[in-house]
A and B are shown apart, each in its own frame.
Chain A
Amino acid sequence: MRAISRYAYLNTRVSGMAAQLLSDHGVDDLIGKADCQDDRVLQAAGLGGWAPEKSTDAGLPLEQQLIASLLADFAILVRALTGAPRRFFIYWACRFELRNLKAIVRGKMAGQPAAEIRRQLVDMGPYGRLPVDELLDTQDVAELLRRLEHTPFSAVAREARRIYEERRELFAMDAAVDRRYYAGLIEQVHSLDRGDRQQLDRLVGDIIDRTNLLWLLRYRFSYRLPPAQTYYLLIPAGDRLQGPLLQQLSRLETIEEVIMRLPQPFAGQLAGVTTAADATLILERNSWRMAETILRSRAFNLARVFAYLVLRGKLLRQLRAVVKGRRLSLAPDLIRWAAGLAASGPM
C-alpha cells in the first residue's frame, strides 16, 4: 500500500512511456523497409523531434541526440523521486557524465581541439557535476588533471594522472572508471530500503553479472590479460557470479571451459558460443527480457522505472544501429545482428 501511494504517479508515467517503446518486431520492420528514411526510423521510436540530418558538423551527432532523449525521460521520472531512490537514479545517470569525462581526458591526451571534444559530450543539464567549460579551457593534460582534482571526480583524476605519467594506457583508466561506477551502483542499491530493492537488486545484479562475464571473456581471450589482472579488473560484486567463482573462471584457458563452468542460466544461454561478441548479444538480450518482464508486471516499485530506462537505452542503441547501418548500406541481416535482434552474426 505504501509503495502504491509513493509510486502511483511514477508508475503511471512509466506505463505511459513504456507504451511508446518500440518492440523488437517494430525495429525489425524498420530494418526490413528499404525505403524508410532516417527521420521515419526515429519518428517510429517516438523521437520525431530529432533530425538526423543535423548529425553533421553543425548539429549534435546522432549518439548525443539519442542519449539526450534518454536523459529527457530520466529527468521526468527522477523529478517524482526523493531520498535514496532519487540518489540511486541520479547515480545511474552518472554513467553519461563518466562518458563525458573519459571523452575529455582522451581528447586532451590526444591533443584534440576543445570544440571537437565538446562535440562528443552529452549535455547533462542540472544533473551535471563536471565543470566542462573549465576543463575544456585547460592548456594541457596536467592542468586538466589538476582541475579535475577539485571536482567530485578527484579519484578518477588521481587514477588518470598515474596512467598519464607512467604508461599512457587509456584502457586502464576506462576499466578503473567503469569498475568503480558499477561497484557504486551496487552500493546505491544496498542503500535502498527493502521494499524499494524488490526486483531492482535482481535486475542490477544481472547487469553486473553480465558485465563481469563479458569483461572476463574480453580481458582473458581478446586482450590476453593474465588471470590475476583479469580478476582484479572485474566488478567486486554481483548476483550469481561472486568472488570465488570469478577467481576460478579467470584461471581457465578457453571460452568453452569458462562457459562450461558457469552456473545456470548462463551456461544454458551461452552453450555453443565461441566468441565474446556473440556472448555479449545473448546476455544482453536476456537482460532485456528480464527488464521487459519487470516492466510488464503490475507491481508499483522502482524496478519498473529502472527496467524502463534499461529498455529505453536498448531501443536507442538499436536505432543507432539501424541508422548507422543504413548510412553505411549494410545488409539487413548485419543490421539485425548489430541491433541485437539475431542470435549470431551473419555468415
Chain B
Amino acid sequence: MFRPMPMQRIALFVLREDAPAAAVVLATRGTFNPEIDEAPAQLAELPGERFHELYRIARGHLDKILAHCPVSLDTQVRQVRLPSEAELERLGTWLRTVWVQCSNCQESLRRAEDEQRYVAQLMKMLDRFAALDIDFGLLSRSKRFLDVQIGMVPSDNVIRLREAVALAGYVLAPLQDAQGLKHVVIAGPKGREAEVRAVLRSADWRAARMPAELNEDPQKARRQLLEHQDRMIAEADTRCRQVETMQREFHDRLVEAVHVLSVAAPYAGLGQALCGRGGLTQIGGWVPGAELRGLRGALQDRLGQRFVLSARDPRPDEFARVPSLMRHHWLVRPFALLVRNYGVPRYGEIDPTLLFAATFILMFGMMFGDIGNGFVIAAAGMLGSRRLHGFAPFVVAAGLVSAGFGWLYGSVFGFEQLVHPLWISPLADPVRMLIMALYWGIGFILLADVLTICNRIMDQRYLDALLGGRGVAGMLFFLAVVDGVRRRYLGGGPGGTEWAVAASALALMFGFHWYRYAGQAGERILVALSEVLEDAIGYFSNTLSFLRVAAFGLNHVALAVAVFALASMTQTSAGHWITIVLGNVFIVIFEGAIVAIQALRLEYYEGFSRYFGGNGREFRPLTLGAGAATAF
C-alpha cells in the first residue's frame, strides 16, 4: 500500500517456435514488463528483430490509413493465429499500397482545396476591379516597352520584393490583402524580365491567371471563375467519395489487419527483450512477485513442460531500473493521478498517495471551511461524476471535509450566526489560526523528514539519513529551534539544551557536507556552509509557507463579509438574496479553485520536493490489442 509492489526479475527460456505463444501468454496476463538488457553473451541473436521491424512498418501504415478513413472495429480482439514473418511482410506491402492510394487521395483533396482558395481570391480581386475604372485586359496584355505582371505574394515578402525589383527598374504596387497573401502589380521596362522572374520565384510569387474575356465581358469572366470553382468543389467531392468507396471496399480486410496486428503486437512488443541462439529463446523482464505463480500456471497450460522460468529478487544496484507498479483503491485513484503528475515512485520508495490524499483534503478543508459551500462541492462531485472522469471521489472528499471544517468554524454559506462553531470562528482570533497553521506546517515537515529518512535507508544512504539536512540531524536542528521559539513566545527564553542540540546538529550537517564534497579546503568550506545554510533556511521558509493555510481560511470569511456588504447595499429583498447566491457561486468556483491550487502547491513544493524523488520507471506491461502500442 505504501510502496510499489515487490518485483521479480524473470528469465523465461522457451523453444524458438514457442516464443510467439509465450508472448501471447505474457500479454494476456498483462503483468509482464519486458526488459531489454541483461542478455547473456551466449544468446547474442535477436530472433524477434525482423518480426518487430515488419510489425512496425505494417502498424505505421495501418495507423495512417485508419486516421484517413476510420473503420468501425469490434472491441474484442478476434482470435486469429500469429502471422508468420512472410505473412506480416505481405500484409505490410498491401497496407502500403492502400496507404499510397489514401495519400494520393489526400494530396488531390489538398490541391482541390488550394485551388478553391485561389479562385476565391481571384473573385475578390475581380470584385475590387469591378468598382474601378481600370482596363484589366490592357494591363494583362503583352506590351512593347513595358513588362507588367499581376500576382500574389505572401504579405511578409512585399516590402523586400519592392526593394529588390527596384534594382531592376521595376515598381511594385500592392492591391489588396487576402489571408496572408497580397495581390500586387509590378511593372518595369522590358529587357530585364528574366532577372525579375528570378526574384519573383524567390519571393514565392504566384501569377494571377485572369481570364482573357475580362476586358470584354467581366460578367463572363466571373461566370467562368464560378464554373471553375464549381469544378474544384466537384473534384473535392469526388475525392471524398473515393475515400468512402475505399472505406467500404477495404473495410473487411482492414478489420482483419487490425486483428492480425493486435495478435502480432505482443511478440513484436518484446523487441530486444527477446534474445537467443539456435532453437533456444530467452525472454527477460519484470513481473510482480504476487503474479509469478499465476504466470507459471498459464505458461504450463499453454506450453506444457516446454519452458524454464527462473525468477529472482531485484539487486540493489538494479533498483533504479525496476519498474514501479502501484495498485490503488478506486477512491484514491484521482489522488494517485495527481501524484503521478509529479513523478512515479522509485522502486522501494514510499508511495505518497495515501498521505497526499489525507493531507490535501485536510488542507483544502482548513482553507475553505464552510458547511454550505462544502456540501455544494460534494453534491457537484456526485452529480457530475460522469464528466469528472474518475475525479468525482476527489471532489466529493474535498467538499465533505470542507463541510466538516465549516462545523468547526461555524460557517454556512458565509453566515456566521446560523451554527455555533465547534472550535472557533476564524475572524474571532486570527492569531490563533495562524499559530495552528504553523503547527500544521511543522508537523507536515517533520512527517516529510521521517519519510525522507525511510527512503534514504531504503537506498542504503545511511549517512545521508542520519546526518543530512533532511535526515535526523536536520530534524533535530528544526525541533530544537522550534522548541526554543515556542519557549520564547511563552515568555521564557530558549534553554541551553535547545541551543546545544541545534548547534550540534548544524555541526554534524556541516561535517557531512564537508565529507561528501571533494575539493580544495576553501572550496569545501564554502560548499558545506552554503549547503547547511540552505537546509536551515529551507526549514523556516517552508514552515512559513504554511501560513497560507490560515490566510485562506481568513480570506474565505473576508470574502463572505464582502458579499454580505454588497448584498446590504441592494434596495430589494430579491436583490439581496441574488447577490448572496451569486457571491457564493463566485466563492465556490474561484476561491475553491485557488484553494485547491494552493493545497496542491504546498504538497508539491513543501512536501514532495523534500521526500519524494518521483524518478521511478512506470510499469508498462505487455498487452494484447491496441494497448500494445504502449509496450514500445
A149 to chain B, nearest CB (A): 9
Residues of B within 8 A of A175 (CB): 202
Q: Does B5 contact A (CB under 8 A)?
A: no
What residue in chain A is nearest B104 (Cβ atoms)? A142
A248 to chain B, nearest CB (A): 9
B38 to chain A, nearest CB (A): 21
How far apart are the CA atoms of A235 and B538 in the complex, in Å? 50
Flag if B167 contacts A227 (CB, 8 Å).
yes
Give the contacting residue for A229; candidates B96, B107, B159, B198; CB below 8 A.
B198
| A213-268 contacts to B (CB < 8 Å) | 225-229, 231-233, 236, 243, 247, 250-251
Flag if B195 contacts A159 (CB, 8 Å).
no
Flag if B202 contacts A139 (CB, 8 Å).
no
- Centre residue among B60, B159, B195, B201 by max chain A CB count within 10 A: B201
Residues of A within 8 A of B96 (CB): 139
Q: Does B225 contact A (CB under 8 A)?
A: no
Flag if B163 contacts A231 (CB, 8 Å).
yes
Range, interface on chain B: 20 to 34
Q: Does B408 contact A (CB under 8 A)?
A: no
Residues of A within 8 A of B195 (CB): 226-229
Q: Does A137 contact B (CB under 8 A)?
A: yes
Residues of A within 8 A of B202 (CB): 172, 175-176, 229, 232-233
Flag if A228 contacts B168 (CB, 8 Å).
yes
A64 to chain B, nearest CB (A): 23
Tell me the interface secondary structure of chain B in the complex. Answer: helix
Flag if B160 contacts A236 (CB, 8 Å).
yes
Residues of A within 8 A of B167 (CB): 227-228, 231, 247, 250-251
What residue in chain A is nearest B159 (Cβ atoms)? A236
Tell me the interface secondary structure of chain A in the complex. Answer: helix
Residues of B within 8 A of A232 (CB): 160-161, 163-164, 199, 202-203
Q: Does B412 contact A (CB under 8 A)?
A: no
A111 to chain B, nearest CB (A): 15
How far apart are the CA atoms of A159 and B96 in the complex, in Å? 28
| B64-102 contacts to A (CB < 8 Å) | 64, 96, 99-100
Flag if A228 contacts B103 (CB, 8 Å).
no
Q: Does B252 contact A (CB under 8 A)?
A: no
A2 to chain B, nearest CB (A): 22
Flag if A228 contacts B201 (CB, 8 Å).
no
Flag if A143 contacts B164 (CB, 8 Å).
no
How far apart are the CA atoms of A176 and B204 in the complex, in Å? 10
Flag if B107 contacts A142 (CB, 8 Å).
yes
A-B contact list, 19 entries, CB within 8 Å: A139-B100, A140-B103, A142-B103, A146-B106, A146-B110, A227-B168, A228-B164, A228-B165, A228-B167, A228-B168, A228-B199, A229-B164, A232-B160, A232-B163, A232-B199, A232-B203, A236-B159, A247-B166, A247-B167
Query: Using a CB–CB distance below 8 Å, which chain A residues touch chain B?
Result: 137, 139-140, 142-143, 146, 158-159, 162, 166-167, 172, 175-176, 225-229, 231-233, 236, 243, 247, 250-251
List 11 other contacts, CB 8 Å, given A176-B202, A228-B167, A247-B163.
A139-B96, A143-B107, A225-B198, A226-B192, A228-B165, A228-B195, A229-B198, A229-B199, A231-B163, A231-B164, A243-B163
